[in-house]
Chain A
Amino acid sequence: MPLKRSFSNALAAWLMASPLAIVLALFLVLPIAMIVVVSFWGATEFSIYPAFKLDNYEFLLRSSVTYSVFLKTFMFTVISWALCLAIGFTVAYFLAFHIRTQTWQIVLFLVCTVPFLTSNIIRMISWVPFLGRNGIANQTLMSMGIIDEPLEWLLFSDFAVVLAFVHLYTLFMVVPIFNTMMRIDKSLLEAARDAGATGYQTLTNVILPLTKPGIMIGSIFVVTLVMGDFITVRFMSGSQSANVGRLISNDVALLRYPSAAATSVVLLITVLIVIGIMLRFVNIRKEL
């Protein structure tokens, strides 16, 4: 009897897990396995053929372009992440601790999401006329007498790329941080105050450790989005900078799928390593 029950329990468990397992297998594992397989294939100018060759990786790892492009990708990622974190944390802090009624918290939070009602590309492109040589930014600065010549580096530069990233992805930082901050028991803050902690001490000793999971979730969003991006870099740098995404998109455009797949695999591994390191600092599961 106990044996039979444990068997039916096990069966039920398998059955309950299988829908998710099947969905994941079909839409996550299978495509990634496919990309890994194709990355070993060979390519002619307009066809790809099954093979097991290391040429794609060899070319990738030997080319100096790869290293400079990965370096650039990391640079964009680190700068965008730091700025998103600083702004996102500030905004979430303000919403969570300075706005007193829940109604206003919700209203202001929704205001933050308003730009997201338009498409990603449109939000990005609208910077172009603003930052241009004869754009609003330059004209304003010149009419205020702050500069004599238009600032060239405002548009089609790394500055523009980072600006667009921060603009596009800060909300992904605000949401999880705001969420964890709202769960912080207010009596903890009172206790800190009663124990004589200054505002800064409360922030660093109470709030910051308790919002770590939110920060980490937001960071994972920002890091993966920035590392996988190609269109923002293309538009905002005027095609003058390259990141890994653009390398892949160039390969796809030239029908070099195996080479694109190899680059994707390397990028995937890199991103996984980065996230693995980040997760060493915070145990998200435990804290959720």
Chain B
Amino acid sequence: MNETPKSNFVSRRSLLKGTAAVAGAAIGSGVVTGFPTIWAQNIKDVTLRQFGTGVSNLNDVAVKVKEDLGFTLEMTALDSDSVTQRAATQPKSFDIADIEYWICKKVWPTGNLQAMDTSKIKNFDKIAPIFTTGKLTPESTVAQGTAPSTVGFVDGKGGTAFAKEVTGWMTLIPTIYNADTLGIRPDLIGRPIDTWAELLNPEFKGKASILDISSIGIMDMAMVCEAMGEIKYADKGNMTREEIDKTIAIFTEAKKNGQFRAFWKSFDESVNLMASGEVVIQSMWSPAITAVKAKGIECVYQPLKEGYRSWGGGIGLSANLSGLELEAAYEYINWYLSGWVGGYLMRQGYYSAVPETSKEFMSENEWGYWYEGKPATGDITSPTGDKLAAAGDVRDGGSYEARMGAVACWNAVMDENQYMVGKWNEFIAA
């Protein structure tokens, strides 16, 4: 505390003199480098409470944080509905929120989260452009739905309106994302599948499934209806009432005709439906495919010509964070982006926000298989040691650019959400 006024005094004087600016900066930087040693001792007492969905709330991360940074990270895993609820209604119950971008759109206006100063984030420049400009390559267009770039920035620290372009204040630091598609059992189907429309193909009567989570399910439905040529949507992530009615009508008819074997709500259910052969084609999540494969059953995360439905999550800071805790949170974010977590997530089949740094924590074979879409040169194992692929195997959908470049829409929350939920209930009860 004593040093701070002195450094101000010196730098003001040196500015006045106009010659000793360099010296002032040197003293200033001396103060700054001294600062971390002051709190480095206190930081061990800091506990950050993080909550989020199970996908990225990994215990291994908390253990590694303790090891690398010294402070304690408490993790709570909840389902996405509870996550939304908690972020919106209990701001004092957490320090770090690990939420999806569409949840951010819903929760940000409550003012429970604070924007992050990008100048404090070391690897900000290396964050995948899909989260900043929204464009994977300069030529690509921003996909439909709640694209992360559209809710990724605000105008200032306390800003409540999302900025259209990159600013110095970021809402969420992306952690984990992926492109979703249909999962199929190639051994039971026995022919190539290349379009979302196949989900309603009468050939798979009684052997199809879709997930019973309205906000995501409606998008998978939209992908199917558009692929069938039945409906052309202006924005699949923000449908009109008429579009919702038509979409649900098509699926209600299919349901009445016995197209679906079941609907699933949890990860395990989707794995069991596929592994038991009850279902041969369904909406699915990447780790579920991995889980089916781990049982020695053939299962493909089928790339389709209409593209992927993508989702992404990120960590946001509670508005209540300040002082030492806030510094620790920035430290955590910088550590998060520095590569170890990225490597861990990439080896599970997700993508990391800063692929460049993750590369250093992956073998050449792993990087080639997961990111570049190259044939594996040896066994590919998950972080927990299960064998996922053998030499010569290629990742479904190929490289990062091939997969993330073919995103048709992002998970979203619609303006007509309440109406859609009502319609969804009708569909389930039909």
Contact = CB atoms under 8 A, between A and B. Distances in A.
Interface stretch (B20-28, B44-52, B417-425): B417-425
B422 A47 contact: no
A47 B278 contact: no
Given A238-B262, A239-B264, A254 B277 contact: no
Nearest to B212: A239
Contact of A128 (B272, B277, B421, B430): B272
B85 interface: yes
Given A132-B278, A134-B276, A239-B212, A45 B106 contact: yes
A132 B276 contact: yes
A242 interface: yes
Interface in B233-283: 255, 260-265, 272-273, 276-278
Contacts, number: 73
B278 A133 contact: yes
Contacts of A254: 81, 214, 421
Nearest to B79: A253
Interface string B400-430: 0000000000000000011001100110111
A254 B417 CA distance: 10
B277 A133 contact: yes
Contact of A242 (B88, B273, B428): B428
Q: Is the interface of A mostly helix, strand, loop or mixed?
A: loop
A46 B85 CA distance: 6
Interface residues of B, number: 33
A120 interface: no
B88 A46 contact: yes
A239 B88 contact: no
Q: Is the interface of B mostly helix, strand, loop or mixed?
A: helix
A133 B429 contact: no
A47 B85 CA distance: 8
B263 A240 contact: yes
A234 B265 contact: yes
Contact of B276 (A63, A64, A133, A242): A133
Contacts of B85: 46, 255
Contacts of A253: 81
Contact of B429 (A68, A156, A238, A255): A68
B110 interface: yes
Nearest to B262: A238
B84 interface: yes
Contact of B106 (A46, A69, A234, A242): A46
A65 B84 contact: no
B422 A63 contact: yes
A287 interface: no
A237 to B, nearest CB: 8
Interface string B68-109: 000000000000010011001100000000000000001100
B65 to A, nearest CB: 29
B159 interface: no
B110 A242 contact: no
Contacts of B89: 46-47
A72 interface: yes
A74 to B, nearest CB: 14
Nearest to A47: B89
A152 B206 CA distance: 8
Given A134-B277, A240-B255, A242-B425, A46 B84 contact: yes
A238 B261 contact: yes
B257 to A, nearest CB: 13
A46 B107 CA distance: 8
Contacts of B417: 45
A117 B323 CA distance: 53
Interface in A187-234: 234
Interface in A122-177: 128-129, 132-134, 152, 155-156
B425 A65 contact: yes
A213 to B, nearest CB: 37
A283 interface: no
Given A45-B106, A72-B429, A240-B262, 10 more contacts: A46-B85, A46-B107, A65-B422, A65-B426, A69-B429, A128-B272, A129-B276, A132-B276, A234-B265, A250-B421
22 contacts: A46-B84, A46-B85, A46-B89, A46-B107, A46-B110, A65-B426, A68-B429, A69-B429, A128-B272, A133-B276, A134-B276, A152-B206, A156-B278, A238-B209, A238-B263, A239-B212, A239-B264, A240-B262, A241-B429, A242-B428, A250-B425, A254-B421
Interface of B: 81, 84-85, 88-89, 106-107, 110, 206, 209, 212, 214, 255, 260-265, 272-273, 276-278, 417-418, 421-422, 425-426, 428-430
